[in-house]
Structures are given as C-alpha cells and as structure tokens.
C-alpha cells in the first residue's frame, strides 16, 4: 500500500511534492510531476516515468 501511494500520489504529483528530474545531460534539474509509462520504456532505469509506473504496479 505504501509503495502504491508513493508512486500514485507522491511521484505523479497528485498529492505530494513530485520527483526531482534531471535533463538528459544531468546539468540542470527541477522538481516536476511525471506521468507513468506502461510499455517497455518503463523498464529503462534512466526514464523517470518508469519510477512512477513501477511503484504503482508493485
């Protein structure tokens, strides 16, 4: 339940501070909401949208 809540509310930004995301070169970053991705892209550890979908699915 806690893992689902983290992914569904904290990471996606529905209720919570969202997640810190870097640009592709890791030079700058910002806090932003991420929408979950449910395809093969979500299995890539470098895709921030996979973090939300992983925590919702578990």
pLDDT tens-place string over residues 2-55: 777 766 776 676 676 777 777 767 678 787 777 778 788 777 777 777 777 767
pLDDT for 45 equals: 72
pLDDT for 5 equals: 73
- CA angle 11–50–35, rounded 5-degree value: 50
Domain housing 47: 2-57
pLDDT for 38 equals: 77
pLDDT for 6 equals: 66
Tally of domains within the chain: 1
Structure tokens, 35: 């929408």
**Alpha-carbon distance 4 to 22, whole Å?**
23
The model's pTM is: 0.49
The answer to whether 54 touches 37, Cβ cutoff 8 Å, is no
User: In whole angstroms, how far apart are CA 24 and each of 10, 15, 29?
Assistant: 22, 26, 10
């Amino acid at each position: 339940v806690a893992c689902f809540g983290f992914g569904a509310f904290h990471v996606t930004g529905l209720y919570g501070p969202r997640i810190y995301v870097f640009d592709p070169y890791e030079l700058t970053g910002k806090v932003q909401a991420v929408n979950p991705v449910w395809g093969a892209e979500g299995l890539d550890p470098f895709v921030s949208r996979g973090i939300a979908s992983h925590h919702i699915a578990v």
